[in-house]
Structure formats: structure tokens, C-alpha cells
Amino acid sequence: MNSIDNPRIAWLLPVAWFYWQPVLSEFTRPFPQTTVFTGLFPGFARGFENALTVKVVGQFKVIEINREETSYGSNFTYLSPSIVGQLLRFKPNLIFSSSFGIWTIFALLLKPLGKWRIVIAYEGSSPGVDYRNSFVRLFLRRAMVRAADAYITNSQGGKAYLTEILKAQESRVFVKPYEIPDSRSLLKHLKDEDSELTDFQLRRPIFLFVGHLIPRKGIHLLLEACVILQQQGYCHYSLLIVGDGPQREELEVFSQNHNLGDCVRWAGRVDYDCISAYFRRADVFVFPTLEDTWGVVALEAMLFGKPVLCSTGAGTAEMVVDGENGYVFAPDQPDKLAELMRRFIDQPKLIEVMGEKSKQIMSQNTPEAASKCLVEVTKLVLNK
């Protein structure tokens, strides 16, 4: 068996987050000589222990250039240049590299020497990471696109950015959600999970938010919607907020000042291994983010059969079929969000019907399906 029959494949990921692991564990089945190189590894998700070969290279550091409260802002992700030696020793036939960072630049510059091929993985499009008004960034990205062999992205928005803005050939852009949750890491060991919520007195329907408490996530919009509901006489529901962050104190003060204490509950940070208890107990998931290139947490909720209220600021809004498994709303319209929350309060039967549709959608978007697409891309690129 020669190298092209059993290719050596490198994945270059600044952070090998849990949501990468399900699809990559499937990908390694047909391509066992796959290694993930990363600057930061949080460990294996439950059910994926040692499912991948992972090498941590140097240090990972995000250097803030320009802070933006309501978007990603301008950052530079420092990754170790020692990746160069790692790749030259590994001698991959193909490299999947995340976005347009420094490791992708290194891989492209070394392409003639290493004689490898490169697929750029672009998570999704959003204003804070697209840099559409930066001549220098767009010039560099277009050059990188020309040098790469193919591109993958989770969303149609990501495809539009690659083809319309960066001028990638449409035939070389492959769209398939590949950052998706898996039941193995979220649905195990459920028998004692309800104890996680015994301290909360929750009235149904239970709306759930899970995420980092920062302005970009739009929790203030969600609380403003709760104020509107209160003004309209709606108080027989609960909003459970799971997560922590620098904005938590400000948000709790807002909640107290507007007398939302009977409806809003703050769970704080919850370990990933325990988060399934909150998804299971909830009725509707709310994702009010102002900007997220993707947003796996919304898909986690769908995997648990929950309707989703999703802001158009999230890439995963494409996974919500408006009126079927939830609703989509603009992130600057708390009145619209309040209206949508009110529908579930007034019509609780929608919860089960839309939740079932969420399950159906996720049954078509599995790690196996994503891996199948990546395998096809690999074969096309290596055999072209």
C-alpha cells in the first residue's frame, strides 16, 4: 500500500475543542494516519478518550488588537512556528488547516517543499472575522485561497464569503456542517443528572441559554425580552442562564432592577460533562448572540430535541427552519424575541412538535455524515 492509498493527513487546529472530536474520530477510521496538531487541547470529550492522535505544539495565545464589545473584535492568534518542523517530520500528503491564521500561512508557504495539498476549513462568516473592509487582510486571504486546493465550511454564509469575497472557485468549496455534537459525549450517564437542578424552582416552559456571559452573546437582549414579557403580564415561565463571564454581575443587576428574579435563574459555569442535565430539563433553547461564526450549542439543544430561538447573528441559524423547529430573529429586536417566547408560553404543544423536528434535522447531520463529506473531499483533492 503506497502513501496515496493510506495517506498521512494533518489537521491544524488552533484549539482542538470538544466539537471537533466527533467528526475527526470518524474521519480517522478510513484514514488512520491522521494527526491533529493544536496549540491548545482541553482534553477528550466523554466517549472519545484517545480516539485521536493529538499533538500540542508550543503555546496558544490570543493577542487583542482592537476590542469590540458586541463583536469578535480584531485579534491575532499566536501559534508556535515550531509547527514547521512538526510538519516536515510528519510529511503529510494532505493538510486541513483552520481559517487564515499563521499556521495556514506556514503550510501554504511550505507547500512546494513538502509537496502536500491543503484544504482550508473556514468555520463560517461573520463581520468580526471576515475583515471585508481591510484591504491588507483581504489581499492576503485571496492569495491564500489561490494557493489552497479546496475549502470546507459549515454554512452557506461561509461559502458565500469564500466565493464572492475571496474569489474561491465554487467547485472547490464544500459545504457541510462538520462542527456538530455527538450523542456519545452528551447522552451518557444520565441517571443522576437531575440532581444538578434540584436547587432551582423552575416554572414551565423553561427557556435555556448556555454560553459565555459577554456582550457579544446578546444575553442583554434576552433579558430585555423578559422585561417586555413582564410588562405584558407574562411571568409564568423560567429562563435558566448557564455560564459565567465578565458581564455576569452587570446582567444580574439588570435582572434585579427590573424585578425579573421570579423568572430568571443563574446557574453559573457548568462542566461540559454535566451540561446534558440542563438541556434535558429545558423546553426551548434561546441563542440571542450578536455574532457567532457557527454556534455548536444550538445544535446540542437540537440533538436533545429542543426547539431553538436563534439569532441571525449565528451561523447555526441556517439549521433552524423558521416555524418548523424554532424561529429566527434579528439580534437587535428584543420585542420580536419576546413575541416568539410568548408563542411557546401560549402554545406549549409547539414545544414537542418543533422539538421532534429538531431531532429529525440532527439525524441528517451526524459525525458520520460530516466525515463522509470530508472523506470525499480528501479523495478528490489527493486524486486531482
Sign of the C-alpha dihedral computed for residues 186, 192, 197 and 203 taken in this order:
positive
Q: Could you report how far apart the first and last alpha carbons of the chain are, in Å? A: 19
Distance from chain centroid for Cα 19: 7
> What local confidence, expressed as pLDDT, does residue 343 receive?
98
Contact 267, 174 (CB under 8 A): no
Contact 318, 156 (CB under 8 A): yes
Taking the C-alpha atoms of residue 337 and residue 226, their distance in angstroms, rounded to an integer, is 9
CA dihedral 273, 278, 280, 286 (to 10 degrees): -120
Q: From its phi and psi, is residue 227 left (phi > 0), alpha (psi between -120 and 50) or beta?
A: alpha
> What local confidence, expressed as pLDDT, does residue 335 receive?
97
The one-letter amino acid at 351: I
Q: Are strands 60-66 and 74-79 parallel, antiparallel or unpaired?
A: antiparallel
- For residue 256, the surrounding DSSP H or E stretch is helix 248-257
Taking the C-alpha atoms of residue 31 and residue 49, their distance in angstroms, rounded to an integer, is 18
> What local confidence, expressed as pLDDT, does residue 152 receive?
98
Taking the C-alpha atoms of residue 329 and residue 83, their distance in angstroms, rounded to an integer, is 42
Q: What are the cell numbers at 374? A: 470530508
Rounded to whole angstroms, the maximal C-alpha distance in the chain is 71
- Angle at Cα 302 formed by Cα 335 and Cα 322, nearest 5°? 45
Q: What is the pTM (predicted TM-score) of this model?
A: 0.93
Contact 343, 329 (CB under 8 A): no
Residue 199 DSSP SS3 = coil
Select from 77, 129, 83, 135 the least CA-distant residue to 110: 83
Q: What are the cell numbers at 310? A: 436563534
> What local confidence, expressed as pLDDT, does residue 1 receive?
36
Which residues make Cβ contacts (< 8 Å) with residue 62, sequence separation at least 6? 75, 76, 77, 78
Contact 51, 96 (CB under 8 A): no
CB atoms under 10 Å from CB of 280, counted, come to: 17
- Angle at Cα 128 formed by Cα 242 and Cα 317, nearest 5°? 55
> What local confidence, expressed as pLDDT, does residue 111 receive?
98
Taking the C-alpha atoms of residue 280 and residue 277, their distance in angstroms, rounded to an integer, is 5
pLDDT digits (tens), the chain, 384 positions: 345 789 999 999 999 998 899 999 999 999 999 999 999 999 998 888 999 999 999 988 887 777 777 777 677 789 999 999 999 999 999 999 999 999 999 999 999 999 999 999 999 999 989 999 999 999 999 999 999 999 999 999 999 999 999 999 999 999 999 999 988 777 654 444 455 565 578 999 999 999 999 999 999 999 999 999 999 999 999 999 999 999 999 999 999 999 999 999 999 999 887 889 999 999 999 999 999 999 999 999 999 999 999 999 999 999 999 999 999 999 999 999 999 999 999 999 999 999 999 999 999 999 999 999 999 999 999 997
Residue range 287-296, pLDDT digits in tens: 999 999 999 9
> What local confidence, expressed as pLDDT, does residue 197 receive?
62
Helices 296-303 and 349-363 pack at an angle, to 10 degrees, of 110
CA dihedral 19, 310, 69, 209 (to 10 degrees): -70
Q: What are the cell numbers at 217? A: 452573546
Q: For each of the domains in the chain, give its residue range(s) and CATH number, in order of start.
A: 9-180+366-383 (3.40.50.2000), 184-363 (3.40.50.2000)
Taking the C-alpha atoms of residue 28 and residue 32, their distance in angstroms, rounded to an integer, is 5
Q: What are the cell numbers at 42? A: 482541553
> What local confidence, expressed as pLDDT, does residue 120 receive?
98
- For residue 108, the surrounding DSSP H or E stretch is helix 102-109
Distance from chain centroid for Cα 228: 29
